[in-house]
Chain A
Amino acid sequence: MTSTSSAFEYAPAPESRSIVSIAPSYGLFVDGEFVDGTGEAFKTVNPATEEVLSEVASGSEADVDRAVAAARRAFTRVWGPMRPADRGKYLFRIARLLQERAREFAVLESLDNGKPIRESRDVDVPLAAAHFFYYAGWADKLEHVGLGTGPRPLGVAGQVIPWNFPLLMLAWKVAPALAAGNTVVLKPAETTPLSALLFAEICQQADLPAGVVNIVTGAGDTGRAVVEHGDVDKVAFTGSTAVGKSIARAVAGTQKLLTLELGGKAANIVFDDAPIDQAVEGIVQGIFFNQGHVCCAGSRLLVQESIHDEVVASLQRRIGTLRVGDPLDKNTDIGAINSAEQLARIRELSDIGEAEGAQRWQPACDLPAKGYWFPPTVFTDVSPAHRIARDEVFGPVLSVLTFRTPDEAVAKANNTTYGLSAGIWSEKGSRILKIANELRAGVVWANTFNKFDPTSPFGGYKQSGYGREGGRHGLAAYLKGADQ
């Protein structure tokens, strides 16, 4: 899609799907092998076409119990006692296997999730491999994490991950847990189970001891069974704040350690001295990356009043060049919304935005007839009281608000129950450092946005969760120190 018709229309450039073979059905990955689930199987669909990709087993409480038992056995007998350097070697192997099969993972991820191949190929999969590579090196250096001498693993980690970055979130969870000497039971999201199941094959190819990684697919009930299982020592969750609260309630009174990476409503603050072209690019990256299905998305643009019109005009022009469509097309910038349910939520909140008096702008845009699609959307005339300025939309919907002074920018940016991320655009160094200091957010991107790295701790303030992923902070979430 381009808003201006041009002699230079890019012909379709689809990535080949043939690199991936998807089985008609999948079982659970427990104790090193695929086994049938005892719950009712469910279908996973390609959100760009609504085509059924496969049938996936749903883990019942009994299945989860088996998986936790396998993880416990592996922890006690194999993974816990193993030489740390050898644990590291297994993780290095996994990193390499992910790199070797990167294209396959990228295509599968785009098929199951709907994200553009450009992103799965250039972001999700390389970063997932990088996380394993990074944490592999930590496995035999845990006494340097900063928790004193002799830090110990927690045991069995129950991990529940979301659908927006299925493989990457798996890597964020599994790599540090394993490096620290824990074993895991991981529940992928209901709508995006396939890359986790392909990852199970990687574990097999790596000869990872049985039970170290167990993957139990399913919906909310399966996740609940993992979280509430009595023999789980650690719970790690990435997902919505609402579910995060229910998990925090569920583990209350237990000895389970908990880390939560929840929702966000990030302010992306653009000052009048910003590098405007890069700021516009950063705004686009901030809200349209992964269809806006990003907890740290820069969904609230806070632009200084003096440059509001110029920035909005530039933004609209830039959005006009975004290409929405087939996720497997290498030129696609915005893919499909992950599910009908999520599409309905985005529509609902956008309609509310309009009803509350904000101005909706969308570029001229042909959307495919089948599948779940939502065009890139900008709301102007948004006030902090509007729901689109407060609620996490988790879609390609940007709300534009204004400010006049740095104090006002900070006050508005912090005026949210979330605190995951924020952006600052200015060419003035001292201002950036001051504002970064005052923002109540776990990740502050200055003159950039939506950058991730395994060495860089990521996580939220306030109701965006607690605990960090990435860096040595990410390991601390899976270790007990001497004084604990």
Chain B
Amino acid sequence: MTHVLDPDALPGATPAVHAPLPPYDDVTRSDAAFRSFLHGLPGVDQVGAESRAAQLGTRSIKTTSKAWAIDTAISMVDLTTLEGADTPGKVRSLAAKAKQPDPSDPTTPRVAAVCVYGDLAGVAREALAGTGIHVAAVATAFPSGRASRAVKIADVRDAVGNGADEIDMVIDRGAFLTGRYLDVYEEIVAVKEACGDAHLKVILETGELKTLDNVRRASWIAMLAGGDFVKTSTGKVTPAATLPVGLVMLEAVRDFRIATGRQIGVKPAGGIRTTKDAVKHLVMINETAGPDWLSPDWFRFGASSLLNDLLLQRQKLRTGHYSGPDYVTVD
């Protein structure tokens, strides 16, 4: 264990492989310096954060603003399948849905991306060619992240090579929870490098980090390391994308942009199933990070069943009557 009060005096501090943006360019100079920076971030009072998130959840979004919210939410969906049973056929079916979410209404926006395992990224890439819909692949020994760094980097390179232009990596929660923050940081830096031009979403797996203080610290590690998005969860751990977690991440990207000028995206994933949930997130963006984040470039929903509920609500708004599950496609 290192001593936080005199980080510079420590022998053997690992030099960072990549310097974060100013004014944070020296915070990764040593394990101790990084730890004291992360622990110096303002704390998060869980009860206060939860009550703020709940309060935002009571906003009542009606009529025109609801229509706008539904279309915006559809355009932000990373339509996801991450099952051991996934096949090229399943991915092609999902890609078709991504291109034309509601066959009964061609004005329905397309989703932002299709998110698959890396070995199927090529199938997705082919199916989505020319659509502008992104191909996202999970990598780095998703979902546990328990593999050597070499394996993780190879996983990333493989996915990118298969045509993924977005990589959803998982952080090393074990390293994080034992306080080896610089290891977590360096791994993200290495993955980012392996991504090349592909955008990097950094999955914190907040359900394993447990505290909102940890969510804030992990978000900062990801942002400092050059991640393009911070993402809540793999979808394999409960709880996943809760509103309080989303709130803390939105505060983090807001604060990071104020300090560095660089805007980072946010992706809640897992557990967002209804239009109501999605609208709550949009309200939270609007009133926390601000309207600059209200675009698929800066906000995504990692979801599978959410899309159909958005479509049902969209049909309700269009037709004036309630719809049913037979009026949206099963993919």
Where the two chains meet, the residues of A that have a C-beta atom closer than 8 Å to any C-beta of B are 4-13, 118, 122, 273-278, 281-282, 321, 330-331, 427, 447-448
Set B49, B58, B68, B291: member contacting A330, Cβ < 8 A: B58
Say yes or no: is B83 at the interface (Cβ < 8 Å to chain A). Answer: no
Set A9, A10, A12, A282: member contacting B48, Cβ < 8 A: A282
Name the 10 nearest CB pairs between A and B, nearest first.
Answer: A278-B48, A13-B60, A6-B291, A330-B60, A276-B42, A275-B45, A278-B45, A427-B43, A11-B65, A275-B43
Q: Is the CB of B69 within 8 A of A8?
A: yes
Within the complex, what minimum Cβ distance (angstroms) separates A391 from chain B? 29
Tell me whether A11 and B62 are in contact in the complex, defined as CB-CB below 8 angstroms, given that A277-B49, A277-B251, A321-B287 are known contacts. yes
Interface 0/1 of B40-77, CB less than 8 Å to A = 00111101110010000011111111101100100000
Q: Is the CB of A10 within 8 A of B65?
A: yes
A330–B69 Cα gap in the complex (Å)?
17
Q: Is the CB of B65 within 8 A of A9?
A: yes
Q: Is the CB of B58 within 8 A of A13?
A: no
Q: Could you jot down 15 A-B contacts, CB within 8 Å? A: A6-B294, A8-B65, A8-B69, A8-B283, A273-B42, A275-B42, A275-B43, A276-B42, A277-B48, A278-B45, A321-B287, A331-B59, A427-B45, A447-B47, A447-B48
Give every chain B residue within 8 A of A10 (Cβ-Cβ): 59-62, 65
A11–B62 Cα gap in the complex (Å)?
6
A413–B234 Cα gap in the complex (Å)?
47
Give every chain B residue within 8 A of A8 (Cβ-Cβ): 65, 68-69, 72, 282-283, 286, 291, 294
Give every chain B residue within 8 A of A5 (Cβ-Cβ): 291
Within the complex, what minimum Cβ distance (angstroms) separates A445 from chain B? 11
A298–B99 Cα gap in the complex (Å)?
53
Q: Is the CB of A13 within 8 A of B49?
A: no
Give every chain A residue within 8 A of B65 (Cβ-Cβ): 8-11
Give every chain B residue within 8 A of A447 (Cβ-Cβ): 45, 47-48
Set B49, B60, B287: member contacting A278, Cβ < 8 A: B49
A4–B290 Cα gap in the complex (Å)?
8
Q: Among the interface residues A118, A276, A447, which one has the most CB atoms of the partner chain B within 10 A?
A: A276
Task: Please name the residue on chain A nearest to B248 by beta carbon.
Answer: A277
Identify 15 new A-B residue pairs, CB closer than 8 A, beyond the known A11-B63, A118-B58, A447-B45: A6-B286, A6-B291, A7-B68, A7-B72, A8-B68, A10-B59, A273-B42, A276-B42, A277-B44, A277-B49, A278-B44, A330-B58, A330-B59, A331-B59, A448-B48
Task: Please name the residue on chain A nearest to B42 by beta carbon.
Answer: A276
Set B61, B68, B290, B291: member contacting A13, Cβ < 8 A: B61
Within 8 A of A (CB), among B283-316: 283, 286-287, 290-291, 294
Give every chain B residue within 8 A of A9 (Cβ-Cβ): 65
Give every chain A residue within 8 A of B287 (Cβ-Cβ): 321
A451–B65 Cα gap in the complex (Å)?
32
A9–B286 Cα gap in the complex (Å)?
9
Set A118, A122, A275, A321: member contacting B44, Cβ < 8 A: A275
A459–B43 Cα gap in the complex (Å)?
31
Give every chain A residue within 8 A of B59 (Cβ-Cβ): 10, 330-331
Within the complex, what minimum Cβ distance (angstroms) separates A339 from chain B? 27
Interface 0/1 of B79-91, CB less than 8 Å to A = 0000000000000
Give every chain A residue within 8 A of B294 (Cβ-Cβ): 6-8
Give every chain A residue within 8 A of B69 (Cβ-Cβ): 8
Within the complex, what minimum Cβ distance (angstroms) separates A321 from chain B? 5
Give every chain A residue within 8 A of B45 (Cβ-Cβ): 275, 278, 427, 447
A427–B39 Cα gap in the complex (Å)?
12
A49–B62 Cα gap in the complex (Å)?
23
Give every chain A residue within 8 A of B72 (Cβ-Cβ): 7-8
Within the complex, what minimum Cβ distance (angstroms) separates B250 from chain A? 10
Q: Is the CB of B52 within 8 A of A281?
A: yes
Task: Please name the residue on chain A nearest to B54 by beta carbon.
Answer: A122
Within the complex, what minimum Cβ distance (angstroms) separates A312 from chain B? 14
Give every chain A residue within 8 A of B62 (Cβ-Cβ): 10-13
Give every chain B residue within 8 A of A274 (Cβ-Cβ): 42-43
Task: Please name the residue on chain A nearest to B47 by beta carbon.
Answer: A448
Interface 0/1 of B207-220, CB less than 8 Å to A = 00000000000000
Tell me whether A277 and B42 are in contact in the complex, defined as CB-CB below 8 angstroms, given that A8-B65, A8-B68, A13-B60 are known contacts. yes
Task: Please name the residue on chain A nearest to B258 by beta carbon.
Answer: A313
Tell me whether A273 and B43 are in contact in the complex, defined as CB-CB below 8 angstroms, given that A7-B291, A118-B58 are known contacts. yes
Give every chain A residue within 8 A of B61 (Cβ-Cβ): 10-11, 13
Q: Is the CB of A122 within 8 A of B58?
A: yes
Give every chain B residue within 8 A of A448 (Cβ-Cβ): 47-48
A321–B52 Cα gap in the complex (Å)?
13
Q: Is the CB of B48 within 8 A of A281?
A: yes
Q: Among the interface residues B59, B60, B61, B69, which one has the most CB atoms of the partner chain A within 10 A?
A: B60
Give every chain A residue within 8 A of B49 (Cβ-Cβ): 277-278
